[in-house]
Copies of this chain bind each other. A is one copy, B any other.
Amino acid sequence: MLSKAKVRFIKSLQVKKYRLAEQCFVVQGAKAVREVLASDFKVDLLVGTPSFFQEKLAAHKASEVIEASEKELTAVSSVETNSAALAIVRMKPAGRPVIPNDNFTLVLDDIRDPGNLGTIIRTADWYGVPLVLASEETTDLYSPKVINSTMGSFLRVAVHYGKLDQWLSTVNIPVYGAFLDGTDIHKVQFGKAGLLVIGNESKGISPGVAKWVSQQVTIPRIGKAESLNASVATAIVLDNLRRS
């Protein structure tokens, strides 16, 4: 059973301030929790239903294990129903990102919507992009909404927050940026390595970041929508990058 203190603690981690102070975050749902247990992330607390613990899984990896009912689990979760498991996971120390010279890196200039960020990380994982550089204004990776919408991909894609122009000033590979008036992505030869900058949902790429873009690229529009959702645009460009 979950004590009142534990319930309070788990719920407090929905707020960024407390996540930062505690250096940990919540992972919800049986599938994601199984993946965390199989990863090299440190699990401080594992909460699961009796039937969840009947599975053969690495529960011993968790510093603390508590059995709870579905009702208790759903009550502390931010998702509508959580019928099986929840883990409190320790953040990894960020360190300095090493931008690969032989792969693509995503650069997010102020992505504000948590669903977009989570979906972008999931798509980066699908296309084998190991690193995401995010501006300091980009929404927090560790919020429950972002973690949930990555569908486990936060385990495989490293996300670093910092000053984009400082990072971009150091690279010697092409920097592509998604704009509304660049070269048609169907006609660009992307090569094997580079960075891809995606801008804010309504304002696009900021001038301070745009000046580091070596090639502006554009998704061809056949119809009449004014723009595309940021996570959709990222996915379309990644698919074109991987085709080259």
Contact = CB atoms under 8 A, between A and B. Distances in A.
Contacts of A124: 223
A235 interface: yes
Interface stretch (A15-23, A58-66, A148-156, A167-175): A148-156
Given A232-B231, A236-B235, A236-B236, A126 B242 contact: no
Given A123-B232, A236-B236, A242 B222 contact: yes
A229 B231 contact: yes
Given A235-B232, A235-B235, A235-B236, A243 B186 contact: yes
Contact of A126 (B122, B126, B223, B239): B223
Nearest to A241: B222
B236 A125 contact: no
Contacts of A226: 151-152
A84 to B, nearest CB: 15
A127 B223 contact: yes
Given A186-B243, A222-B128, A223-B128, A123 B228 contact: yes
Contacts of A126: 219, 221-225, 227-228
- Interface range on chain A: under 10, 10 to 19, 20 to 34, or 35 or more? 35 or more
Nearest to A129: B223
Contacts of A239: 219, 236, 239-240
Interface in A141-161: 149, 151-153, 156
B122 A228 contact: yes
Contacts of A152: 225-226
Contact of A151 (B125, B223, B227): B227
Contacts of A105: none
A110 B125 CA distance: 25
Contact of A229 (B122, B129, B156): B122
A204 interface: no
Given A228-B235, A236-B236, 15 more contacts: A122-B232, A125-B223, A125-B224, A125-B225, A126-B219, A127-B222, A128-B222, A128-B223, A128-B224, A152-B225, A152-B226, A153-B224, A153-B225, A156-B224, A235-B235
8 contacts: A119-B232, A122-B225, A125-B223, A126-B219, A127-B222, A151-B226, A153-B225, A156-B224
